[in-house]
Amino acid sequence: MADATSGEPIRLSPKMRLQWEKAQNAHVLLYPEGMVQLNESAAVILALCDGSRTVGAITQELIQRFGGETLAEDVTEFLDVARSHGWIVDA
């Protein structure tokens, strides 16, 4: 399994579902054992993990949307954590 810095496209794990939860007033990541409430940044990043983008492409998309060349390190760090939790996998 490649880490979040690999050139492989990434996607949400098949066990995960990203959705807006009205009761929580937040995006959540649902999985068989429970739910994780996400902040807005995490939800935007995970929404881009659709199997067609690499970490680099996700980072570039976010830089275009929000500006700030310093996003790359934060995005990579978040995706490393997401991978360690099993939220994302190689496409």
Domain assignment present for residue 90? The answer is: no
CA 66 to chain centre: 16
In a domain, 52, yes or no: yes
Is the Cβ–Cβ distance between 71 and 79 less than 8 Å? no
2 domain residue, yes or no: no
Q: 11: Cβ–Cβ under 8 A, 6 or more apart, which residues?
A: 49, 50, 51, 88, 89, 90, 91
Is 70 within the bounds of a domain? yes
pLDDT in tens, 67-76: 887 888 899 9
Instruction: Tell me the three state secondary structure of residue 90.
Output: strand
| Residue 5: per-residue pLDDT | 56
Q: What is the pLDDT of residues 4-53, one digit of tens each?
A: 556 899 999 999 999 999 999 999 999 999 999 999 999 999 999 999 99
CATH number at residue 44: 1.10.10.1150
pLDDT at 6: 61
Which pLDDT score is estimated for 67? 86
Whether 69 is in a domain gets the answer yes
Phi then psi for residue 54, to 5 deg, are: -90, 175
**Residue 7 near residue 56, CB atoms below 8 Å:** yes
Q: Does residue 33 belong to any structural domain of this protein?
A: yes
Domain count, the chain: 1
54 in a domain, yes or no? yes
Q: Are 90 and 9 in contact (CB under 8 A)?
A: yes
Domain that holds residue 52: 10-85
